[in-house]
Amino acid sequence: MRLQPVLYSELTKIISVRALVGSLTVAAVLPVAFGSVACGDYGDGEAAQADFDPLALGFWGVNFAQVAVAVFAMLAMGGEYDRGRIATSLVAVPRRNRFYVGKCLVTTGLSLAIAIPAALLTFFLTQRLLGEHGVSLGDPGTVRAVLCLILYFPLLTLLCVGLAAMVRTLAAAMGVVLPFLFLLSPLSMEVPRLRTVAQFLPDRAGLYAAMSLHSDPDLVYSAWLGLPIMAVWTAGAVFGGWYALRCRDA
């Protein structure tokens, strides 16, 4: 079987499930909506702070949008294991490698498709709302941040697809990833003893690259290295998911 029919099949499955389409829509809307509210209502007050970062405020909504991206990815992959639907999928696509590649390519492509307009619209709208306190694409660090934000969504999608394939249940995937993104990871950055390790977590590294105008002197690596660090975690998760799918029974 060629890869093209597999891609078409995966795309059809995704667009036919309301929860998947809804989570992608939410992921695209939240950065723009929350960032606009934050900059419009609190921009002047935040700008008076010594450590003010216009990108961190403008991209504030990404903290919530990433949860929608994770839900989309885990529903797309973890949902296959609900009620034994993975067996039906593997009957249609007997080659597990091809099935997994198709799943990864379609979910990543859709994440990238919503990330590009969401990142650009969020940047230009929020920085315009900040007025004289905002930045433009000509300022140092802005192009890197926007590019990293665009790539953050597909990398997070691949990471969650791999994790869902490894744990093989939707509930377990949700139970691990969502508390991690919302609670454990951000809170660990506030604990000095944990910060040294937490800064290398995939979401922290990716968000650091996307939401920082300049490198943070409290971290041991520059903002440019944030996305490569996340990419290493993502590659490990994708490999783990592939190995689990290849070696375990459906």
Percentage of residues of the chain with pLDDT beyond 70: 98
Q: What are 25-74's pLDDT values in tens digits? A: 999 999 999 999 999 888 888 888 888 999 999 999 999 999 999 999 99
Both tokens of residue 87? 């067996």
Domain segments of the chain as ranges: 3-247
pTM for the whole structure: 0.93
Distance CA 73, CA 156 (A): 8
Q: What is the pLDDT of residue 163?
A: 92
Q: What are 3-20's pLDDT values in tens digits? A: 888 999 999 999 999 999
Q: Say yes or no to pLDDT of 137 above 70.
A: yes
Confidence of residue 188 (pLDDT cuts 50, 70, 90): confident
Beta carbons of 148 and 227 less than 8 angstroms apart: yes
Q: What are 70-87's pLDDT values in tens digits? A: 999 999 998 888 767 888
Beta carbons of 86 and 64 less than 8 angstroms apart: no
Q: Which residue has the tokens 């490698």?
A: 97
Beta carbons within 10 angstroms of residue 246's beta carbon: 11
Q: What is the pLDDT of residue 106?
A: 97
Cβ-Cβ contacts under 8 Å for 244 (sequence gap 6 or more): 165, 166, 168
Coil vs helix vs strand at 204: helix
CA angle at 145 for the pair 130 and 25, rounded to the nearest 5°: 80
Cβ-Cβ contacts under 8 Å for 83 (sequence gap 6 or more): none
Distance CA 17, CA 6 (A): 17
